[in-house]
Amino acid sequence: MTYRRQSPIVVHRSGRALEKAMGGDELSLEEICSLLSVRDPVLLDELFQAARATRERNFGDSVFCYGFVYFSTHCRNDCSFCFYRRSNQKITRYRKTDEDIIDLSTSLEDSGVHLVDLTMGEDPMLHHGNDYQRLIDLVGRVDEAVKVPLMISPGVVPKDAFPGLKDAGADWFACYQETHNRGLFAQLRPHQDYEVRLSQKKWAMSSGMLAEEGIMIGVGESIADRARSVQIMGDLGVRQVRAMSFIPQCNTPMACRDHALFLEELVTIAVMRLLHPDRLIPASLDIEGIRGLRSRLDAGANVITSIIPPSMGLAGVAQHELDIEGGGRTVEQIESVLDETDVHLATPSEYASLISGWRRELMSSEAGP
């Protein structure tokens, strides 16, 4: 990877911001922008080293892995970046049965994942009116079948659905804003409500679930937009924060755009680690597959996401076919990469203990004095 040299003034400013971040001092928006702009090779190495050291102080040498079950690729939305947008009529979609979903979830648990992520488009069959009992029942059936924690990623649901999802066994709720620039949000997610989507994370936490927020890199946002998102994710109080590179998808309005530079994602991961040291930060296999795992771990990530069992007819999100059918996204493949690093997979009990503590904190804070 080739890095460009930066002026001494820019390097000095970024170096000062890095020193403050390493010292645990609060950074201004301008200082966060400075860190996100680091491209000087020497300073990049220092940034990534600082991110790894911060991860080690908070999580030791343990990392976690999440299994991924994208169980319905039908969606009512028309997101400009998404392969499975409603208007893309040139693709084959699927909708897994409850039995399929349970089998996939138990298979992932048996393979050694710490969590199963149940993901779907906003399928009209499940997003029908305000009755989400069908989705709640599905979560309950999976929770009965597996012992590992569950994440649910169903898109936008009404506020009164959250207690039911939590009681059915969902430990996490994920719903990505992609950007916190409202104008850009409207372009990426046309005819969707920014505030309602942002409130998903708040409603999830108020019901007792942990929440994840995420942004996309390379969709037309500025460095200042990224910096503001890093701040907002911290202010929300979510326990998992992610940044993923934009990959152009065929038959979408953004198909002809260049894909994001992966270095931009790596720098964002490192900055998020420094500013949110005790949060989980994913290294997604959905962007570069297994070959991109090491660089994301080296940037400070500590959750390996989008582990998908092969030969099961499942798809990814950012890259719907990458490394899936041939078995490139398995726990076994991950462990072969980790053997060459200073980190290892945590035990299931380590992960369960971590999030149980967070959930107790969350319920205590929601209950008030």
- Domain range for residue 285? 64-367
pLDDT at res. 6: 57
Q: What is the mean pLDDT of residues 322-331?
A: 81
pLDDT band at 368 (very low <50, low <70, confident <90, very high): low
pLDDT at res. 313: 77
Closest CA to 331 of 342, 319, 344: 344
Whether residue 51 lies inside any domain: the answer is: no
Task: Say which range, 14-18, 44-48, 341-345, has the weakest mean pLDDT.
Answer: 14-18
Tens of pLDDT, residues 271-322? 999 999 999 999 999 999 999 999 999 999 999 999 998 878 777 787 777 6
Q: What is the mean pLDDT of residues 329-347?
A: 94
pLDDT at res. 9: 45
Look up the pTM and report it: 0.94
Residue 330 has pLDDT above 60, yes or no: yes
Average pLDDT, the chain: 93
Q: 248 to each of 75, 148, 172, 276, how far by Cα in Å?
A: 18, 33, 28, 29
Total structural domains in the chain?
Answer: 1
CATH of the domain at 146: 3.20.20.70
The type of residue at 220 is G
The span from the CA of 81 to the CA of 250, in Å, is: 9
Whether residue 175 lies inside any domain: the answer is: yes
Whether residue 50 lies inside any domain: the answer is: no
Identify the three-state secondary structure at position 241. Answer: strand
Tens of pLDDT, residues 176-188? 999 999 999 999 9
* Structure tokens belonging to residue 145: 């079948």
Residue 366 has pLDDT above 80, yes or no: no
Tens of pLDDT, residues 124-178? 998 877 789 999 999 999 999 999 999 999 999 999 999 999 999 999 999 999 9
Tens of pLDDT, residues 109-127? 999 999 999 999 999 998 8
Helix (H) or strand (E) run with residue 51 in it: helix 41-59
Residues in Cβ contact with 134 at an 8 Å cutoff, skipping those fewer than 6 apart: 125, 126
Closest CA to 188 of 104, 269, 77: 77
The span from the CA of 316 to the CA of 215, in Å, is: 17
Identify the three-state secondary structure at position 260. Answer: coil
Tens of pLDDT, residues 22-53? 888 899 999 999 999 999 999 999 999 999 99
The span from the CA of 352 to the CA of 210, in Å, is: 13
Residue 1 has pLDDT above 50, yes or no: no
Whether residue 190 lies inside any domain: the answer is: yes
Task: Say which range, 9-13, 104-108, 238-242, 335-339, has the weakest mean pLDDT.
Answer: 9-13
Whether residue 193 lies inside any domain: the answer is: yes
pLDDT band at 12 (very low <50, low <70, confident <90, very high): low
Q: What count of residues does the chain have? A: 369
pLDDT band at 74 (very low <50, low <70, confident <90, very high): very high
Tens of pLDDT, residues 207-251? 999 999 999 999 999 999 999 999 999 999 999 999 999 999 999
The span from the CA of 359 to the CA of 152, in Å, is: 16
Whether residue 3 lies inside any domain: the answer is: no
Name the residue with higher pLDDT: 165 or 16: 165
pLDDT at res. 310: 83
Identify the three-state secondary structure at position 121. Answer: coil
Whether residue 208 lies inside any domain: the answer is: yes
Tens of pLDDT, residues 248-263? 999 999 999 998 899 9
Name the residue with higher pLDDT: 216 or 20: 216
pLDDT at res. 4: 56
Residue 62 has pLDDT above 80, yes or no: yes
Whether residue 235 lies inside any domain: the answer is: yes
